[in-house]
Amino acid sequence: MLKLLIDARMIDSSGIGTYLQNLIPFLKEHMILYLLGDKKKISKYIDISEVNVIPMKSSIYFPLEQVEYILKVKDVDVFWSPHFNVPIFPVGAKKRIVTIHDVFHLAFKDLYNLFERSYAKLLINSAVRFSDLIITVSQFSKSEILKYTKVKEDKIKVIYNGVDTKRFKLYSEEEKIKIKNKYNLPDKFLFFVGNVKPHKNLKGLLRAFERIIGEEKNIFLVITGKKEGFIKGDKEIFKILNNRYLKDRVIFNGYVSNEDLPLLYNLADIFVFPSLYEGFGLPPLEAMACGCPSIVSKITPLMEICGDAVYYVDPYDVEDMAKGIMKVLKDNNLKEEMKRKGYERVNNFSWEKSAIEHIKLINEIFN
């Protein structure tokens, strides 16, 4: 059997962590699997009795990881990096694969200091140069990789992410009430999920929410995600929240477990995803699977993934966002139509289908 080594250090991250958690169980059935990372962290998500864990302590983006790659990547058929932080020196793998989810670090380079920009550019260019295959998650991300690097188009393959419909589904009223009480949630709320980074556009959403709270007396905004994202410029959000009207109507509940997140989607009146840039955009699909109508940015990647199952708004126009929220809140027929289309749309995205395509490509590139 083919020996596959995966860099699994980001298995507990949002986005890439979800990607790894859902694909690894399928991959281990078809290959001899080795995982780089922390055994204790990996064991929270994967049955490590069925894989081989190779300890790797260095953090992503830190130069020390390049030394560890040389020491730890040995005697395998394929080494797969699920992010662009790849080895920039030769390693002991016959073939190398990388997944580049997006090129945000190049498209929004002004958000980073000189070292961060330079290192990200070095790694992304190394990823496309040294990898035998580049996987990406949307046609939009493929076009961005081609735009910002000199890679040949036939080296890039698009494989969509999936939705775990065993978790993201409709839940009973009893289960929803339990979670509502656990997090002390209001009866009526808009829901935002994401690490609070500038391109997620929480600032724009707060401005839009500010415009509707006068008309909608009982509506709240619930924000779920790691607050560390406030670095790199989003401290301005705190200034907005000092508004005495917003302060009592916005709830930050921080990190939510994988088990509880689907129930929050179930409880929300509307899911709002006002992002300025995405490679794929998984949260709107998760919301659809839970029967939660979604308002999302009218940007190319989200239009590619969400189709006609969501309500689109201009993420740069606060008034348009506010009007969109009000329209969906008040139009029950529209909400029901969005729910129906959402269930249909989600059927196009499964982790099993994604895994089968990954396995096929990994075998092809090795053979």
Which three-class secondary structure string do you get for 90-101?
Answer: CCCEEEEEEECC
The C-alpha angle with vertex 22 and arms to 337 and 183, in degrees rounded to 5, equals 65
**CA–CA gap between residue 87 and residue 68 (Å, rounded):** 9
Which amino acid is it at 55? P
**What's the start-to-end Cα distance of the chain, in Å?**
12
Element (H, E) at 191: strand 189-193
Predicted local confidence at residue 295, as pLDDT = 98
The b/e string for 283-315 (b: 16+ C-beta within 10 A; e otherwise) is bbbbbbbbbbbbbbbbbebbbbbbeebbbbbbb
3-162+350-366 fold: Rossmann fold (3.40.50)
**CA–CA gap between residue 49 and residue 143 (Å, rounded):** 40
| Beta-carbon contacts of residue 332 (< 8 Å; ≥ 6 apart) | none
CA distances from 144 to 24, 209, 277 (A): 27, 31, 11
**CA–CA gap between residue 281 and residue 305 (Å, rounded):** 7
| Beta-carbon contacts of residue 113 (< 8 Å; ≥ 6 apart) | none
Of the candidates 212, 232, 230, the one whose C-alpha atom is nearest the C-alpha of residue 221 is 212
The domain locations on the chain are 3-162+350-366, 173-346
DSSP string, 34-80: EEEE-HHHHHTTS-GGGSEEEE--SPTTSTHHHHHHHHH--SEEEEE
> Is the distance from CB of 246 to CB of 240 less than 8 angstroms?
yes
173-346 fold: Rossmann fold (3.40.50)
Note whether 3-162+350-366 and 173-346 share their fold: yes
Local confidence pLDDT in tens for the 367 residues of the chain: 999 999 999 999 888 999 999 999 999 999 999 999 999 999 999 999 999 999 999 999 888 999 999 999 999 999 999 999 999 999 999 999 999 999 999 998 888 888 888 988 999 999 999 999 999 999 999 999 999 998 999 999 999 999 999 999 999 999 999 999 999 999 999 999 987 778 889 999 999 999 998 888 899 999 997 655 444 445 677 677 677 678 789 998 888 888 999 999 999 999 999 999 999 999 999 999 999 999 999 999 999 999 999 999 999 999 999 999 999 999 999 999 999 999 999 999 999 999 999 999 999 998 8
Token pair 């080494």: residue: 79
Token pair 């008040």: residue: 330
Three-state secondary structure call for residue 252: strand
**CA–CA gap between residue 64 and residue 69 (Å, rounded):** 9
